[in-house]
């Protein structure tokens, strides 16, 4: 104890001698919601943490000739023009607690269900650090979702980025939750990133995962709809920083980001308030970089650990050609497209088998599932093309070959349907579809 006190005093004296205890001070000159302009804050660095008295904290997002722009992440009390603001000479960071697994927390390691901060929390970077190419290896191991429609036809590998997209209320989130529940018997750490959701909605997700024994290995990282936009924007970065920490320890990590459409809209809002030059659809020109730097963290690490990312994107009217969707499709290693029409017809998961794809395919499948999946996909796609033409026709009036194709296709489609939270093992999927062939 005496040694620690002595070291602390020596550090303080050294800081005084080198003037490291002198901090830049400024005044709030302009307020635009959670964006403030500060004058007099000299010598400050980009992304440096700053404090507005006891009222708020944030980070420097732009350094101008006469002022700096600060984005506020936490606001405790209202801020006014003229308030004093202090630079900390430290990069803005978040917190993580090793004890937070099984809890609903924010980027500052505060348990949002009980309102307390974890005592063992540690500072971590709020910016995702890139993983060098030489530290990555080939993706070759499967990550099973427990959903036959995905594991058989569009398999996901440990270290893959597989996009889930579809209209509102088509079961996008459910696929992510089903995948988390299916990791119960594996050694995979799961991080569910909930952006802009209500507290009630997050509590329901927590309750569902808790009932099914998934919370002991799951961290729910949240930024609620009433949190500031900078906190919403930075939360996925913090999730990937935490995932990287587990991966460095040799763990497999699954990160579900729900969702990147809101993330893009939040970034657009921040950029417009900060007077950035708007690009296509008023999004900032660096929106592609923002998502690419986030999703490139998905990889198979050389030490055996991995980060698998399932980003979720919400479409409108089934349009998968809009700006944000096409950007993310080009970044990821495949996409699971969900159909509103199929969902209304009772097909769950409502996978659009014609538009979905996995760019890794059979590389992460066993030989048996690869062969079975190729046969089922060929028959199923043939049936779906036929069904579009003969959907309203009387099956009794068809010839024998056409009738058998229709019946066989309906059987396969029925085998794809699963109730939520009812995962199937690879052997169960094999048995289910081999039985349909007989």
pLDDT (tens digit, 9 = 90+) per residue, 306-331?
A: 999 999 999 999 889 999 999 999 99
Of the three residues 91, 113, 138, the one that is the final residue of a domain is 91
The domain that contains 19 carries what CATH number?
A: 2.40.30.20
- Classify residue 263 by burial, with Cβ atoms within 10 Å: 0-12, 13-18, 19+: buried
The domain that contains 256 carries what CATH number?
A: 3.40.50.300
24 domain-assigned: yes
State whether 110 and 86 are in the same domain. no
379 domain-assigned: no
State whether 232 and 100 are in the same domain. yes
pLDDT confidence band for 22 (50 / 70 / 90) = very low
State whether 50 and 107 are in the same domain. no
* Total number of domains in the chain: 2
Structure tokens at 311: 């980003």
Q: What is the pLDDT of residues 55-75, one digit of tens each?
A: 999 999 999 888 899 999 999
- Spatial distance between the Cα atoms of 195 and 266, rounded to a whole number of angstroms: 10
State whether 334 and 364 are in the same domain. yes
Mean pLDDT, rounded, of the chain: 88
376 domain-assigned: no
State whether 55 and 123 are in the same domain. no
405 domain-assigned: no
State whether 87 and 99 are in the same domain. no
Residue 436 has pLDDT above 80, yes or no: no
Residue 5 has pLDDT above 70, yes or no: no
What are the angstrom distances between the C-alpha of 411 and each of 353, 387, 415?
15, 13, 6
Of the three residues 339, 368, 397, the one that is the final residue of a domain is 368
Residue 285 has pLDDT above 50, yes or no: yes
What's the pLDDT at 340? 92
Residue spans of alpha helices (H) in 198-259: 199-211, 229-248
360 domain-assigned: yes
pTM for this one? 0.90
Q: What is the pLDDT of residues 338-354, one digit of tens each?
A: 999 889 888 899 999 98
List the single range of 38-47, 288-297, 379-388 with lowest mean pLDDT: 379-388
- Spatial distance between the Cα atoms of 230 and 69, rounded to a whole number of angstroms: 13
Residue 21 has pLDDT above 50, yes or no: no
Contacts of residue 348, Cβ cutoff 8 Å, sequence gap at least 6: 171, 417, 418, 419, 420
- The residue segments making up the domain with residue 29 are 2-91
Contact 156, 162 (CB under 8 A): yes
For residue 113, give the 3-state DSSP assignment: coil
What's the pLDDT at 349? 92
- Spatial distance between the Cα atoms of 200 and 205, rounded to a whole number of angstroms: 9
State whether 238 and 345 are in the same domain. yes
Of the three residues 336, 368, 400, the one that is the final residue of a domain is 368
State whether 241 and 101 are in the same domain. yes
Q: What is the number of residues in the chain? A: 438
Q: What is the pLDDT of residues 28-54, one digit of tens each?
A: 999 998 999 999 888 888 999 999 988
For residue 300, give the 3-state DSSP assignment: strand
Chain position carrying tokens 């996009």: 163
State whether 307 and 282 are in the same domain. yes
């Amino acid at each position: 104890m005496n040694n620690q006190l002595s070291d602390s005093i020596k550090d303080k004296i050294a800081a005084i001698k080198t003037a490291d205890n002198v901090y830049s001070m400024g005044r709030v000159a302009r307020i635009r919601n959670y964006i403030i302009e500060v004058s007099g804050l000299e010598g400050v660095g980009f992304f440096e943490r700053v404090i507005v008295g006891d009222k708020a904290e944030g980070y420097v997002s732009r350094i101008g000739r006469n002022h700096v722009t600060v984005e506020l992440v936490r606001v405790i009390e209202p801020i006014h023009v003229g308030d004093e603001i202090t630079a900390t000479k430290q990069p803005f960071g978040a917190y993580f607690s090793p004890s937070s697994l099984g809890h609903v927390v924010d980027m500052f390691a505060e348990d949002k269900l009980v309102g307390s901060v974890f005592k063992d929390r540690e500072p971590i970077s709020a910016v995702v650090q890139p993983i060098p190419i030489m530290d990555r290896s080939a993706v070759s191991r499967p990550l099973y979702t427990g959903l036959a429609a995905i594991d058989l036809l569009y398999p996901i590998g440990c270290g893959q980025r597989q996009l889930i997209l579809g209209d509102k209320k088509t079961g996008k989130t459910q696929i992510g939750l089903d995948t988390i529940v299916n990791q119960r018997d594996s050694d995979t750490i799961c991080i569910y990133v909930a952006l802009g959701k209500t507290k009630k909605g997050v509590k329901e997700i927590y309750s569902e995962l808790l009932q099914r024994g998934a919370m002991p290995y799951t961290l729910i990282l949240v930024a609620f709809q009433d949190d500031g936009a900078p906190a919403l924007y930075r939360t996925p970065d913090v999730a990937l920083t935490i995932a990287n920490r587990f991966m460095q320890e040799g763990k497999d990590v699954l990160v579900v980001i729900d969702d990147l459409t809101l993330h893009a809209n939040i970034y657009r809002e921040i950029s417009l308030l900060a007077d950035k030059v708007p690009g296509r659809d008023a999004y900032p020109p660096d929106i592609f970089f923002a998502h690419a730097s986030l999703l490139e963290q998905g990889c198979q690490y050389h030490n055996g650990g991995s980060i698998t990312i399932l980003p979720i994107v919400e479409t409108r009217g089934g349009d998968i050609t809009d700006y944000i969707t096409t950007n993310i499709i080009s970044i990821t290693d495949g996409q699971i497209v969900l159909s509103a029409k199929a969902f209304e017809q009772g097909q769950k998961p409502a996978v659009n088998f014609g538009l979905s794809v996995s760019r890794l395919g059979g590389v992460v499948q066993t030989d048996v599932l690869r062969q079975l999946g190729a046969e089922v996909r060929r028959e199923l796609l043939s049936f779906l093309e036929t069904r579009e033409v003969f959907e309203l026709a009387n099956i009794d009036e068809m010839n024998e070959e056409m009738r058998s194709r229709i019946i066989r296709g309906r059987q396969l489609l029925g085998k794809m349907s699963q109730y939520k939270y009812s995962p199937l093992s690879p052997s169960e999927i094999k048995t289910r579809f081999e039985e349909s062939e007989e």
